[in-house]
Amino acid sequence: MVSGDKIKGKLEEAVGKVKEAVGDKTDNTDLQAEGQKDQVTGKAHQVGGDAKEGLGNLKDDLSK
């Protein structure tokens, strides 16, 4: 099952890509930077979600 952190991360990364693209087209460096920050934050949430899933799977395996 996909964790909420992974879903949140993917959404945040997608929003960041859109912000960066709009910033590129409008020469808005602040929006570009915000988009890049959102992408990094989104990837971090995804990694955290992966870790939580891994720990959950390990817990399930150990309880068998």
Encode 13-36 in three state secondary structure: HHHHHHHHHHHHHHCCHHHHHHHH
DSSP state of 63: T
Residue 1 has pLDDT above 90, yes or no: no
User: Which residues constitute the domain of residue 44?
Assistant: 4-63
Total length of the chain: 64
Number of domains the chain is built from = 1
- Identify which has the larger pLDDT, 41 or 59: 41
Unique residue bearing structure tokens 């912000």? 19
> Which tens digits make up the pLDDT trace of 33-54?
999 999 999 999 999 988 888 8
Tokens of 36: 């890049």
The answer to whether the pTM exceeds 0.85 is no
SS3 assignment, position 5:
helix
